[in-house]
Amino acid sequence: MRRVSPVCQVDPGGMWAVTRYEDVLFVMKNPALFSSEGFKVAWQPPWVGYNPFANSMLAMDPPAHTRLRSLIHRAFGAATVARIEPRLRAVAVDLTNRLVEETDFIQAVGHPLPAFAIGEILGLDHALHSNFKRWADDIVAITPELPRPEDAERVRTTIAELSGYLMEVIAKRRRAPVDDTVSDLVRAESDGQRLTDSEIVEFLVTLLIGGLETTTHLLSNSLVFLADNPEMMRRLHAEPGLIALFVEEMLRYDGPVQTLPRIATSDVVLSGVTIPRGALVIPIIASANRDEAKFKDPDRFDLHRGSQGGLHFGHGVHFCIGAALARMEARVALEAVIARFQRVERVPGELQYNRTLTVRGPVTLPLRFTPVSAAGQ
């Protein structure tokens, strides 16, 4: 597509796919031409009804987006990430120590670790971690196409259940604030304005889904790569200081975020093709991050490539507010796995991947782990 038809219509529904790095970057840099309300079109089709994820700041343009981000950034910055890192590191070691020889990595580590991080940041009940995954899976599975009636009903029930739970949490924090992000958001104020309960719910849903699904997929994709490339596992085991570089290249090479939907606000010409006003535009981040015109030998995993130019966290006004958290979680998890295990191998069988427009990762990941002490036997 990049070589022959870099801007073209695709199924479902004639969306306009954009695949070249420079074109994807242009879409990201120009919110006046490409509105983030594309998220609302993708995630709030008529069959869903109200979806807090589709009404969050992800689906807003300046100045409304600017107001919300300024309020939220104060409650979700580097200090928050630094505050939870020691606890997250302890949890990562504990979860890794429980890995048996053959197990599903997602169920054992890939989901529980980011669920703990999100629960810590938001001050949510850790007993609900299994619900976090179910809620997130149902919401990211939404597409414009009408699903089976039972699937549609399950998604609508999930939205009502999640929204109701978060409204209860907000009400409790208004009555009795504690040291957590929800309390910070309740108190947050900028230019005399505060967040409404609905705005807080929409942000919390975004953080829950964005912080859970993406990190789970990043960790899972990393383990798939290490299983398929044992020499990289050996190298990281010998030089754990390279793990941060590994995370950065993995984000480019096989990152969790695939697309960031937008709506064209007027007729726009990209790569000689006119995208009509009102069209749903799908800039394909995964393709941009493998564009041979931007990255030398892009299909080669290069630890020392650096992060310059990668679009895995978006760009500009919508650059991911959780980027520092995602990098820290991935580094902490991989450090724990690589310190304990010499080898990771796939269990025979084909991997099944999720089906969504925006993120990609395996649904389950059965792996065989060889501890360091047993590797030489």
**Structural domains of the chain, count:** 1
**Does a structural domain hold residue 272?**
no
Q: pLDDT of 76-85, one tens digit each?
A: 567 778 888 9
Does the bond joining 12 to the residue before it have cis omega, within 30 degrees of 0? Answer: yes
pLDDT for 307: 64
**Does a structural domain hold residue 100?**
yes
**Does a structural domain hold residue 238?**
yes
Q: pLDDT of 206-221, one tens digit each?
A: 888 777 888 999 999 9
**Does a structural domain hold residue 302?**
no
**Does a structural domain hold residue 14?**
no
**Does a structural domain hold residue 44?**
no
**DSSP 8-state secondary structure symbol assigned to residue 5:** -
CA distance 5 to 331: 37
Can you name the residues that pair with 102 across neighbouring β-strands? 368
Task: Please say if the pLDDT value at position 93 is more than 50.
Answer: yes
By the 10 Å C-beta count (0-12 exposed, 13-18 middle, 19+ buried), 301 is classed as: middle
pLDDT for 377: 46
Measure the CA angle with vertex 214, ends 364 and 22; round to 5°. Answer: 125
pLDDT for 219: 96
Measure the CA angle with vertex 305, ends 300 and 307; round to 5°. Answer: 120
- Share the mean pLDDT of the chain: 87
**Does a structural domain hold residue 205?**
yes
**Does a structural domain hold residue 102?**
yes
Task: Please say if the pLDDT value at position 44 is more than 90.
Answer: no
What pTM, to 2 d.p., does this model score? 0.86
For residue 217, the domain's CATH number is 1.10.630.10
In the numeric block, the tokens 């969790």 are attached to: 256
Domain that holds residue 199: 53-256+315-375
